């Protein structure tokens, strides 16, 4: 192939590549806002699921500190009903069987878990992945899911797999990872809530009693 022909072919390929990049940039620009709004709507729906009585979610990311090096916190939210602080929610991630597992945890001002939902994981389908599956029940009679069993627990509970936490069958590592993430996040959230003022006055006995 002659040099001129090669140069022409190179220019044509470069033009196609540039055009493809422009198209991809336009598509990204057009869909980025839609994706962001959808993610925000999904998050708000999950927060509403955990705190059905709430009417406001204020982001407080960076306010709550993890006491475990292996467990990190992401987005954090103060949950309110009018001017009343109901609790807080936090996205927490920790190591599991297949990599990091991320859980959204809500904690009420009474020191109990309002709800927990596994957002992301890479654990084995049919085994560890059952921890996030809404059709997998640790109590079939009452239809309690693995993550659903944490609702109502005091953050002062042990959160011990095969103790006060029912494990996913053949997935002890995943079960322990989720329990550790929820326990660590719950403890940290309660400490933040207690620092907001006297909101826990009159409720300490409930929290302590739940741990017994």
φ/ψ of 156, rounded to 5, equals: -85, -5
DSSP string spanning 62-92? TSS--S-TT-EEEEEEEEEETTEEEEEEEEE
pLDDT in the model for residue 6: 67
Distances (CA, A) of 85 to 35, 51, 114, 150, 197: 30, 11, 14, 21, 11
pLDDT in the model for residue 38: 78
pLDDT in the model for residue 205: 31
Q: Please state, as a whole number, how many other Cβ atoms lie within 10 Å of the Cβ of residue 43.
A: 17
Distances (CA, A) of 187 to 42, 112, 124: 25, 10, 28
pLDDT in the model for residue 37: 75
pLDDT in the model for residue 201: 43
| pTM, rounded to two decimals | 0.79
Provide the residue ranges of all domains of the chain, joining segments of one domain with +. 1-50, 53-211
Give the Cα separation of 159 and 7 in Å (integer): 67
Tokens of 106: 């809500």
Tokens of 38: 């959808």
Tokens of 21: 């990049």
pLDDT averaged over 10-residue windows placed end to end, the chain, 212 residues = 64 66 62 71 90 94 95 96 94 97 96 96 96 96 97 97 97 98 97 77 36 33
pLDDT in the model for residue 115: 97
């Amino acid at each position: 192939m002659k040099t001129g022909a090669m140069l022409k072919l190179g220019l044509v390929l470069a033009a196609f590549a540039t055009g493809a990049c422009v198209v991809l940039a336009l598509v990204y620009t057009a869909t980025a806002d839609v994706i962001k709004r959808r993610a925000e709507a999904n998050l708000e729906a999950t927060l509403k699921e955990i705190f059905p009585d709430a009417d406001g979610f204020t982001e407080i990311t960076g306010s709550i500190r993890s006491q475990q090096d292996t467990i990190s916190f992401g987005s954090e939210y103060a949950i309110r009903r009018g001017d009343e602080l109901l609790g807080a929610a936090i996205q927490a991630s920790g190591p599991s069987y297949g990599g990091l597992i991320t859980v959204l945890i809500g904690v009420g001002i009474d020191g109990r878990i309002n709800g927990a939902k596994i957002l992301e994981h890479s654990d084995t389908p049919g085994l560890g992945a059952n921890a996030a599956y809404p059709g997998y029940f640790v109590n079939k009679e009452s239809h309690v899911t693995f993550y659903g069993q944490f609702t109502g627990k005091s953050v002062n509970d042990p959160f011990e797999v095969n103790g006060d936490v029912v494990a996913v069958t053949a997935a002890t590592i995943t079960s322990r990872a989720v329990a550790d993430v929820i326990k660590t996040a719950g403890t940290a959230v309660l400490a933040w809530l207690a620092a907001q003022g006297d909101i826990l006055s009159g409720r300490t006995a409930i929290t302590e009693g739940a741990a017994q």
